[in-house]
Each structure stands twice: as C-alpha cells, then as structure tokens.
Structure 1
Amino acid sequence: MSVEYEMWMGWAALGILVLLCLSAFFSGSETALTATSKARMLSLDRDRNRQAGRVLHLIEDKESLIGAILLGNNLVNILASTIAATVFLAMFGEAGVPIATLVMTALVLIFAEVMPKTYAISNPDRMALAVSLPIRIVVILFSPVVATVQAVVRGALRMLGADVSGPVLSAHEEIRGQIDLHHEEGGVVKVDRDMLGGVLDLRELTVDDVMVHRKSLIMLDIEDSPDTLVRNALSSPHTRLPLYRGDPENIVGVLHARDLARALHEAGGDAGRIDIEAIKREPWFIPETTELLDQLSAFREKREHFALVVDEYGALMGIITLEDIIEEIVGEIEDEHDIALEGVAVQPDGTVIVEGTVPIRDLNRALDWNLPDDEAVTVAGLVIHEAQTIPEAGQIFRFHGVQFEILERRRNQIQRLRLKREPEVKG
C-alpha cells in the first residue's frame, strides 16, 4: 500500500469526521432553536445579551431558519456519504456500497442525530445561545437558495390546495394551550390554571356574562321612610344598594353602607333624622356589551367598585362590581355573608343539584367541568338553548357529556336541576 494511498485514506477519514461533526452541529442547532424559550430569550435580551438578541432574530423567521439548517445538514450528510462510499469501494470493491450505507447510517443516526438532539432537548436555551452566531452566518449565506426553495414549496402547496397563510392560533390561544398542557402534566395546579385562564378571558367576556341579574338584586325604594330604608339596608348582606323611585326601572342613586353608618352616627342613632337624598351617590350606568377588561380599567380610573348594567334601550339588566371581575381571575371571594358557590350542592351519589341561575363559568370552575358558555350564561339557559324548548319537570337531556334532569320549573323558568357527569366512551 503506497504512502499516497494511506495519506488519501487518512484525509478521507478526517473529512468524514469533520462532516459528521457539522451534521451534529446542524441537528442540535435545529432542535435547540425550535425548543428554546422565547420568554427566556426576551428576558435576556432586555438585559442586553447579544446572543439572546440573535436567537430572537433567528426564531422570528422559523421558515428561513429551518430551511438554512436543513440545507446545510443535507449537504454535509450527502458529502460524507459520498466520501465514505468512495473509500469503501476502494477497500472492498462492489461490496463497499452497502457496507458504506450501513456504516454511515449508524454513524449519522447515533452521533449526528440522536446524541446532539438529546443534548439540545435537555439544554435548549444554553445551546441556542451558543450556536446563535454561526447559525446566523449560515442563514445569511444560504438565504438566496432558501428563498428559492421556499417559493417552490409554497407554490406546490398552493397547487395542492394547502393553506400556507400563517399560524392559525392567536397568542392568547397558544398561551392557554400551554397552561392546559402544563396542568395535565402536573406542572400547574388547578387553582393556578383557573387564575391564568381567567386573566386571558377578560378580553373575551362582557359585563353581562358575569353581572348579578336584576332578578337577584336587592333594591330600595327611596320613597320609603328613613326607618324602613335603614332597617332594610342593615339587613342586607351588600354594602351598595340601588335606590329607585316608584318604579324599579327608575334608578335615582346608590346607597353605600359606609355613608349610611356615618349619617346614622351623626344623627345620634335616630334613623328618622337621616336625609337619604343627601347621602345617596350618583348611579353609574354602563352598557351590557362592555368588555370586562375595559370595565376593570374604568373601575380603576373612576375609583369606583359598583356600576349598573343597562341594555341598548336603557332598561336595567343587573349590576357589576369590582369583586365580580376579580372573582373571574381568582375564583369566588367568600366572606362571612357568602355561601360557597350558592345554588350548587354535591350529593353523596356523585350527582349535583344546581339552581338554574348558577353561572356556567362558576360551575365549571367548581367541578372542573367544561360546559360551553358561548350561547348561554346560566345552566338553565344552556339547557333551553340545547333543547330548543322550555323543558318540563322530570325531563332528562344529555349533551356535552352531562345528564341534565329538570327537577323544578316555575312558570317559564327552570328552578332546579340534577346534573350527572356521564362516563367517557373510550375507543
């Protein structure tokens, strides 16, 4: 065997080794840059980390990033396989081709694919920062070829009728999906999941989704005697009470328990001396279509905690308080006057007795169910919407994986129901 042949074999082996290293670099970089935490990179970028800035720039255009990495990876893999085939042909003749195929497949699979990707999955942020500069250079060098490939691919996909317009999920949907995923994996407890989901829901809900309906309100007639008004106000569990004159639709003010207590003290405890007109506050009316997030901001700006909700014709629909909005985030806030999810009673047999006025969202949170609340706010409203009729007592309906049995109906209102979660059908 000549010296020249030995040198050629040595250089060939070295070339294959270098190309396998490059293949491992491209494979690990692809995994690291696609798995890295964008939130973590944003945090580092705010701290003026140049590597994090490059990573963010790269992952903003993932199509070009993946295209450049795949192009580089295929080039080095094909070149390494070609050199290996040449070497093994020289060593074993015609049998060298299958031998080279087997050897290179094993080497590429183990050292250029599985090993670097395993490390990248375990350390995505660290590796992404480390490879950001060389990958940035690769993307710039290969950009003309990648752009041509992208144009061909997109044209072919459009001819096949595929939609390549972009992502189908909004940022909120992606965040919600991540929260649900971590909850299923045990990384986020139910309370935290509900709170994070509640924050995301504020933009999607309007005040009529969470308000206290007018039929559940305690209102006072300002024409009543001061003694009667004070007695009724002090017996109420609420600190703010709407005042009307003659007709409950004619709201003229709001009576605050703190103002009443101050006036009662100044009057020496004599309720008859209190001038309700003088201590009442001006009512604040808002439309029922107001988004919860906007109403939360309005509460903060006006430093108010209470508003009356009206429809497009000015008719009173209910009230909304700051506590109602906060409860959409943190869950029910109970005090000594509250009942834990009033109107819901879990029975020993696992069924749930529910009043028709219970909000679907509150029921879902309490029982960890997933009943839809797009078309109805209350449980009774959901049954009527799904049944397309006002059911009679004793009727049973099944939808959304829950059995609804009507226990009591009064006039056209469903008063009470028995709910039973049906077992999931597998297969």
Structure 2
Amino acid sequence: MEDVPLSVLFAALIACLASSAFFSAAETAMMAINRYRLASKVKQGERAALRTQKLLNQTEKLLGVILLGNTIINTASATLAAIITARLFAGNEFALGIATLLAAFAILVFSEATPKVIAATHPEPVALLASGPLALLLRVFYPAVWLVNLCVAALLRLLRLRKPEGNQTALSPDELRLLVLESGRFMAKKHHTILLNLFELAQVTVDDVMTPRHQMEMVDLEMRADQLRQELFTSHHSRLPVYAGNPDNVQGILPVRKLISLSEDETDATAVRALMRQPYFIPSGTPLFTQLQNFQENHRRMGLVVDEYGELLGLVTLEDILEQMVGEFTTHSPASGGQFARQADGSLLLDGTMSLRDLNRKLKLGLPTDGPKTLNGLILEYFEDIPESGTCMVIAGQRLEVVQTQDRSIRMVRLYPR
C-alpha cells in the first residue's frame, strides 16, 4: 500500500462509497416496490420487470448478495480511510479517530440514508435499474451467498424460528378494501363506488334492503272477484305475492304480465292459482352476496324474507341487491316510501319508513345500522315508546323532530342541518 498513490486510494474510497450507495438503494427499492404493479409490467412483457420479479421470488438469495456486497464495501471503505489517514498523519492517533468518525459520517449520509430515501421515494425505477447488476452479482457470488444462507438457516433452526408459509403478498379483504379506498383518484368515481359497495355485500343482509311487510303490495285470493281484478289491474309491480286469508299464508308469486292472455271475466282466484309460481323463501339474516348467488342458482328474481318461526318479514328482489352495488336505477311505484324533501329553512322532511342505510348513503349521515333498519324503528327504540308530534331528539349527532305519527308508527320526521 505504500507504493499506491494517494489519488488512487481516494478514488477507491469514492468508488466504495458509491457501491455501498447502490446496494443500499437496491435493498430499499426491492423491498418497497409495488408487487402488483410489477406483476402488471411482467404481463406486458417488460424484461427488467421479469428479472426483478425473479429476484424477488428468491428473497433470501437477493438479500444475501446485497448484504454481502454492502458489508464488504463498507469494511473496505473504513480500511481505506484508515490507510489514507496513516499516510497523511503518520503516528497521529487523534487524526485517526477523526478520520474514523468522518468515514462513518460519509457512509451514513452518502451510502445509507440518502440512497435509501431516494429509493423509497422512487422504488420502481430504482429496482428495475438495479435488477441487472444484482442478477449478475448473484451468479458471480452464488457460492458465498449459498454459504451465508446456510448459516442463517442453521441459526434459525437453533432458535426454533420457522419461516412463514404461503403467499405473504396476498391481501386480506380489509387490506384490499383499504387499497381500493386509497386508489380512488386513479379511477372513475362511479367505478370506485361500485368496488367499495361490493366489499359491503358480505356484511349487509337481506333485512337491510328488503321491503318491510307492511309496505308490500300483496293479493288475497279470498277477496271478492271484482276486488281481486281491481288489485291486479292497478298494480305497479310486475310480480305480486299471493296469499289466502292471512299474509303469512303465502301461496305463490304471480307474474302480472301473464294476465295479459286472460280477459277480465276470466281473471279470478282459480286463474291466479294456475299462473302463479311457487314462493321462494329467504331466511332472515342472509348476507346479500350469498343471496345474490342463490338468486342466480335458483333462477329467481324475488324472495320472501321469513324469520326463524316462518313469519313473513318482507320482500327482497334482485334489483334491491343490484342497487346496493350500482345505486338506484329502477323506477319505484308511487306508493313506495323512502323519499325526502328539502324545506326552505334547510331542513329535510324524511319518510319514517326510509332505510337507515339509504339515509346514511344519500345524506352522508352516521346513524347506527346495527339495530333497527328504518328511521321509524330507530326513533321507537330510542324512546321505547311512540313519541308525540313535535318531540325532538339528538341521535348520533343528528337533530331530529317527529312531525307526524300514524297507526302506532312515525310517518314523517324532520332532520335539521348541523
């Protein structure tokens, strides 16, 4: 080393610092790169992406060659700094200590912190650029990397630590939902909303979207023939549940369009029985995603929700489930509830039969949905009684006023702006 010029030693030190910076940046970029974006580039046939993916599929060997190279380079940097100091300040121990500190500072700033920050900020281009040299170094130093990994594996067995099995990059449903939430700016708002709604189908049940029993339009086979014809020909629905005497005694579902083939005189209870289909019952609490699959498998578009005792709770259709994904798109009958009207003072008049989920979605509220499903039910549960008109309350930070009650239920509620 005495014959080596100082200029060569300084050049070697700078080269070592630059090489250490390369390994530091490569390590951070490889671990921070988006695996799913990388997989997309691989499908597009990018060679650098394919090479990077192969390196990431053998993480132990990749980290082995990076740490091996970084350790050797950093050791060489400290040694060169000591040799240069000894040549410039022979026998000066204070100068040697200062040189050691300066070398550590240079390694920390120029070879560790700065390149890692750059790689963490731009992981994809750094990883793709570094994949070529890393693949070459892995081939050249494979025996040394194999020996290092062998020692690591032995130490892990000694500590009784097992490497995790399975695909560690797979996302859980909650992580996937968070990914969709954060990627909203990269897709159309409507598409983003539909994807988020899909994640909720497993948590939302048919009870949340069904038409309650008291709002259902049904036909009684035991009514007079003229009344029966009046009900059928003035219906706003294409399918009607048919019962005999008691609404719990459902006989079937009548496709109203089939009545076109009958004259008015031929339309009676016997004709209705001949045209109606067998009823399709859905247990209360069935998740919407499960029911969507059941509709598909059973070739049905409508089902009657019943509780554990077989009592009729309501009606759910395929359109009700689809609206949870894409929003409202069907035309509702004039008798259907769920409307609200804005007043001059900024308040809103709400129908007591409105679904709490619909209210929360349309008005961006936070009303609780883990109990009652309608606004009427929420207020009745809050008071444990039927409140009088003019009664005010605050639920989940929302100021509400009972405007009208009828038939032991709340018909109209006023929501005041916050």
Partner AA of 1:233 in structure 2? L
Q: Equivalences for 1:325-344 in 2 at 5 Å?
A: 325-335=321-331, 337=333, 342-344=338-340
Check the 8 A contact 1:226/1:271 in 2, yes or no: no
Alignment pair present for 1:232 and 2:224 = no
Q: Equivalences for 1:34-183 in 2 at 5 Å?
A: 34-38=32-36, 41=39, 44=42, 52=50, 55=53, 58=56, 71=67, 75=71, 78-79=74-75, 81-83=77-79, 85-90=81-86, 91=88, 94=95, 95-108=98-111, 112-120=115-123, 123=125, 126=128, 133=135, 142-144=148-150, 171-183=172-184
C-alpha distance in structure 1 between counterparts of 2:155 and 2:401, whole Å: 60
Shift of 1:218: 0.5
C-alpha distance in structure 1 between counterparts of 2:410 and 2:365, whole Å: 21
Report the TM-score, using the length of structure 1 for normalisation: 0.75
Q: Give the equivalent residue in structure 1 for 2:394.
A: 397
Q: Equivalences for 1:161-240 in 2 at 5 Å?
A: 171-183=172-184, 186-188=185-187, 190-240=189-239
Q: Check 1:11–1:194 CA distance in 2 against 1; reply closer, same or farther (3 A cut).
A: same
C-alpha distance in structure 1 between counterparts of 2:376 and 2:57, whole Å: 48
Shift of 1:4: 1.3
Partner AA of 1:180 in structure 2? L
Alignment pair present for 1:252 and 2:255 = no
Post-superposition CA distance 1:179-230 (Å, at most 9, x none)? 22233xx334543332112211222222222111111101111123444323
Q: Give the equivalent residue in structure 2 for 1:13.
A: 11
Shift of 1:245: 0.5
Check the 8 A contact 2:353/2:376 in 1, yes or no: yes
C-alpha distance in structure 2 between counterparts of 1:73 and 1:144, whole Å: 17
Shift of 1:250: 0.6
Q: Which of 397, 410, 416 is matched with 1:414 structurally? A: 410
Q: What secondary structure, in the 3-state scheme, does the structure 2 residue paired with 1:75 have? A: helix
C-alpha distance in structure 1 between counterparts of 2:323 and 2:148, whole Å: 53
Q: Check 1:369–1:79 CA distance in 2 against 1; reply closer, same or farther (3 A cut).
A: farther
Report the TM-score, using the length of structure 2 for normalisation: 0.77
Q: What secondary structure, in the 3-state scheme, does the structure 1 residue paired with 2:4 have? A: helix
Q: What secondary structure, in the 3-state scheme, does the structure 2 residue paired with 1:4 have? A: coil
Post-superposition CA distance 1:287-336 (Å, at most 9, x none)? 11322222212211222111111111111111111101111100111327
Check the 8 A contact 1:12/1:87 in 2, yes or no: no
Q: Which of 263, 283, 286 is matched with 1:290 structurally? A: 286
Gaps of at least 5 residues in structure 1 are 156-165, 423-427
Partner AA of 1:193 in structure 2? H
Q: Give the equivalent residue in structure 1 for 2:308.
A: 312
C-alpha distance in structure 2 between counterparts of 1:343 and 1:236, whole Å: 20
Check the 8 A contact 1:240/1:257 in 2, yes or no: yes
Q: Give the equivalent residue in structure 2 for 1:242.
A: 241
Q: Equivalences for 1:266-305 in 2 at 5 Å?
A: 267=263, 270-272=265-267, 275-305=271-301
C-alpha distance in structure 2 between counterparts of 1:72 and 1:212, whole Å: 67
Q: What secondary structure, in the 3-state scheme, does the structure 1 residue paired with 2:231 have? A: helix
Gaps of at least 5 residues in structure 2 are 162-166
Check the 8 A contact 1:33/1:55 in 2, yes or no: no
Post-superposition CA distance 1:321-380 (Å, at most 9, x none)? 110111110011132747998322334544333223212222222123444423342234
Shift of 1:244: 0.6
Q: What secondary structure, in the 3-state scheme, does the structure 2 residue paired with 1:325 have? A: helix
Check the 8 A contact 2:23/2:70 in 1, yes or no: no
Q: What secondary structure, in the 3-state scheme, does the structure 2 residue paired with 1:405 have? A: strand
Alignment pair present for 1:27 and 2:25 = yes
C-alpha distance in structure 2 between counterparts of 1:38 and 1:275, whole Å: 59
C-alpha distance in structure 1 between counterparts of 2:378 and 2:69, whole Å: 55
Alignment pair present for 1:360 and 2:370 = no
